[in-house]
Amino acid sequence: MTTYSPDIPPTGPSDEFPATLSIDYVDTERNRLAVFFRIFMIIPITIVIGMVGGSFANYYDQSYTSFGDYTAGSVALLFMPILLMIVFRQKYPRWWFDFNFELLKFSTRVGAYMGLLTDEYPSTDEEQGVHLTLEYPDATKLNRWLPLVKWFLAIPHYIVLSLLFMVAFVLLILGWLAIIFTGKFPRGIHNFIVGLTRWTIRVEAYAVLLTTDKYPPFSLD
């Protein structure tokens, strides 16, 4: 039976950011066969998420697919309509937020599975061991012109994250080998990958989903 140890992020200034993520750590021995063939097992669910315009909102997708944070279709779906509504109407429809949020949670579960953080096949609607929160914004309190430049202001994050993605890719290979030979995924690698994913999601909330004007912290916490 699989048991999990809840992932509790360290406390700090980043706790105040209106987007959080924790992913439970698997305490029991991992399924080595499933991990060995993970790259093939992930194909069906990636097809599903691709068909609904999913944005893989974490480092796994950049490491494996080289799409960057978003495909062109995802940018058009998630970013442009919200930008136009905030700039011209100062509105962020709840139904559009709910759709983006559910898609973000789904893609994060897929990323967690692809990144070897869990052996539980990603659900399209259940939380599983991936706990993600994103605050719904009051559009009238958002700066209506800031969305036009947020992508530019986030460039320092893109640079730092790109370097950390390369580190994470190497760690993921080491973690894969560790599971194959020992049956355990090192807790340190788990924490680093979760922290990197958390950081990326906060940048996404700021620069793409446009749910906050608060600048993301440069932190894995």
DSSP string of 32-75, one letter each residue: HHHHHTHHHHTHHHHHHHHHTT----SHHHHHHT---S--HHHH
- Within a domain: 66: no
Structural domain contains residue 65:
no
CA of 91: how far to CAs of 86, 100, 117, 168, 209, in Å?
Answer: 5, 15, 37, 37, 13
* Domain assignment present for 101: yes
User: What is this structure's pTM?
Assistant: 0.85
Tens of pLDDT along 41-91? 999 998 888 887 644 444 334 433 333 333 344 555 668 889 999 999 999
Task: Please give the residue range of the domain that contains residue 193.
Answer: 71-221
How many domains does one find in the chain?
1
Residue 178 falls inside a structural domain: yes
User: Does residue 62 lie in a domain region?
Assistant: no
Residue 27 resides in a domain: no
**Per residue in 79-112, pLDDT tens?**
888 999 999 999 999 999 998 899 899 999 999 9
Q: Is residue 193 part of a domain?
A: yes
Dihedral sign from CA coordinates of 219, 152, 58, 101 = positive
Residue in 66, 165, 171 with CA at minimum distance from that of residue 116:
171
Q: What residues contact residue 41 under an 8 Å CB cut-off, 6+ apart?
A: 34, 121
Contact between 69 and 200 (Cβ < 8 Å): yes
Within a domain: 124: yes
Confidence of residue 1 (pLDDT cuts 50, 70, 90): low
